[in-house]
Structure 1
Amino acid sequence: MKKIFFLIIALLALVSCKPKQQLVSVTGKVSDAELVDEVIHKHLNTVPSFSTLSGSVMASYSENEEDKQSMPFSLRMEKGKTIWLSAPLGVAKALITPEKLSFYNRWDNTAFSGDFSYLSELLGFSVGFGEVQNLLLGNLLYSVSADVKLLPTDDNRYVLQTNNGVFTAVYRLLPDSYRVESTLLLHNEKQQRALISYTYQKVTDELLPATIKIEVVNEDNRNDIVLELKSLELNGQVSFPFKMPE
C-alpha cells in the first residue's frame, strides 16, 4: 500500500469490429498526407469536451506480475488547469497543474513538489501536465509532428506513428469513434517501452475511458497498472483541497 500510490502518480505522467469509415476527398482520392490530416482531425473532434470532471478510480499495481496491490482514489479535474487525486481519508494526495507536480504519502512519510523533470527522468519519456491529462482522457498522448505516418493494418484500425528523435509513438485508433485504443512508446536508444490500452464508457454525450492499462518495461523490470474509472460526472462543482504536510 505504501508503494502503490507513488508508482501510480509516476506512471500516470504515461474492441470494435465495425467497418472502417471511408475517408475520401471530393475527387474520391486523397494523398497520404491528406489522409493523415483527416484521421487526426476526426480524432480531435472526439476529444471529450467539458470543464470539470469528478469520479473514482480503482487502481491496481503489480511488479513483474507479482505482489498485486489495489487501492481506491477520488479523482477530480478542471480541464487544462488541475488534476487532483486522493486516497481514502486523505492519507495520500496528488495535485498536478501545468506548472508543477505535488504529492505526499503519509504511509511512509514522503512528499514531493517540483517540476516534471523528475517524473520524466523516472519514466524515461518526456511528460508534463498535458500528457498526464491526455493519458487520463484517452487522447493522443503527444502533439503529432510533421513526420507522422499512417501505417497499414489488417484489422480496420487507424495506426499513426511519429518519432521525435528520442522515442517512437504508435497510436491505434478505433475505427468507429477515432478514440485511442492503445499508445505504444518505444525509446530509440534504451531498452524501454510503455504500452497504454483503453476501453471506453459513455458519460452524458462524451466517450471517456472505462479502463486504462499501463505497462512499462525497462530492461528486466516490468510495472503494470490498471485504472478503473467509475461514477464519472461532468461539469459539476469541484474543489482541490491540498496542503503539503510539514
Structure 2
Amino acid sequence: MQRYIGLFLLIGMFSCKTKSVVVTPVVPVDTTNVATAKMIAQYYTKITPKFNSISIKSNVKYADERMSQNVNAEIRILKDQKIMVLVRVLGITMAKAYITPDKVQYYEKIGGKYFDGNFEVLSRWLGTDLDFQKIQKLLIGEALDTLNSQTGNVKSDMGFYKIETDSNQGVQKQFYIDSNDLLLKKELIFQTEKDRMLQILYPTFATHEKAFLPENVLIEASQGTSKTNIEMEYKSVTFDEELTFPYQVPNGYEPIIISKTE
C-alpha cells in the first residue's frame, strides 16, 4: 500500500485510498439532536489539549504481507504549527519527517530518498484527503473529522456513542466515543464497493495535566486480502519543553518525484 517503508511509518496510515467527500448528514429528531450536541460539546471540552508543545517517545511495529519491522519514533509537536517525526533503529535516525500546515518534507536513509512537497501533491499520491490537522489529531487521539450535531446519525452501541455518516460517493465513517469517559476509542472509514477499510483504535488513554493522550494507537488498513498494521506504543510524554525542529536532507539523496498522473 505504500512505496517507501519509512514514509508509510510516518504518514501512510491515511493511504487506504478513501477519497475526500462531502458528508450528507442524517439529521436526528430534535430531542436526539439536543442530546447529541451536548455530548459532542462535552467531548471537545474534555479532549481539547492545553499544551503548546509535546514530545512523545514511542515504539512502532509495522507489518504487511511482505515484511514486519520494529522501530523507535520520537514525535515532536508544536501545536497547530509543526510536527517532526524521527524514526530510529538501534539509536540511529533512519528517517525524518518535518510537517507544517503548508509543507511536507521527508527523507529516509535506506534508499537515500527524500520528498519535498505539499499536502495537495501528497493527497493526490495517497488517494485520500490529507492535511496537517488530520495528522496532529491522529497522533493525540482526536476524531479526524470535526464532529457536530449534524455530523451524522448517533446511536448508543454497547457502551459507546456511535456516530455514523454516509456519503453519495460510497465512503462511510464511524466514530465510537466511550459513553463513560467521553474519549474516542475507534474510527472506521470504509468503501464497501472497493473492499477498502481503515480502522484506528485507541484502547487506553493516559490522564495528563494538559491533555488526555492515547497510550496505544492501533491502525489497520486493508484492501481486499491485503492488510497493513501499525501499532504505536507511547513510552513517555513531556509537555511544553523548548523543542527544536532541525531538518536538512543529506547530500546525494534522490528526490521522490510524484507526477500529476500518479
TM-score, with normalisation over the residues of structure 2? Answer: 0.80
Q: Secondary structure at the match of 2:67?
A: strand
Q: Secondary structure at the match of 1:236?
A: coil
Q: CA deviation at 1:188?
A: 6.1
Q: 1:101 aligns with which of 104, 110, 114?
A: 104
Residue 234 (structure 2) pairs with residue 233 (structure 1): no
- The C-alpha deviation readout for 1:94-132, integer Å capped at 9, x for no partner, is 011111211000111111111223443454431211111
Q: CA deviation at 1:12?
A: 4.0
Residue 179 (structure 2) pairs with residue 178 (structure 1): no
Q: CA deviation at 1:230?
A: 1.6
What number of residue pairs does the alignment pair up? 229
Corresponding residue number in structure 1 for 2:82: 82
Distance 1:188 1:33, change over 3 A: farther
Structure 2: tracts of 5 or more residues without a match: 16-29, 252-262
Residue 229 (structure 2) pairs with residue 224 (structure 1): yes
Corresponding residue number in structure 1 for 2:64: 63
Q: Sequence identity of aligned pairs in percent? A: 22
Distance 2:117 2:179 in 1: 39
- The C-alpha deviation readout for 1:34-83, integer Å capped at 9, x for no partner, is 1221121111112222100002121100003x632100011100111111
Give the conservation status (yes or no) of the 8 Å contact 2:95–2:107. Answer: yes
Q: 1:110 aligns with which of 87, 91, 113?
A: 113
RMSD of Structure 2 on Structure 1 (CA): 2.3
Q: Which moved more, 1:118-127 or 1:167-176?
A: 118-127
Distance 1:5 1:62, change over 3 A: same
After superposing on structure 2, the runs of 4+ consecutive aligned residues of structure 1 that deviate more than 6 Å are none
Paired residues for 1:141-156 under 5 Å: 141-144=144-147, 146-153=150-157, 155-156=158-159
Corresponding residue number in structure 1 for 2:199: 195
Distance 1:225 1:118 in 2: 24
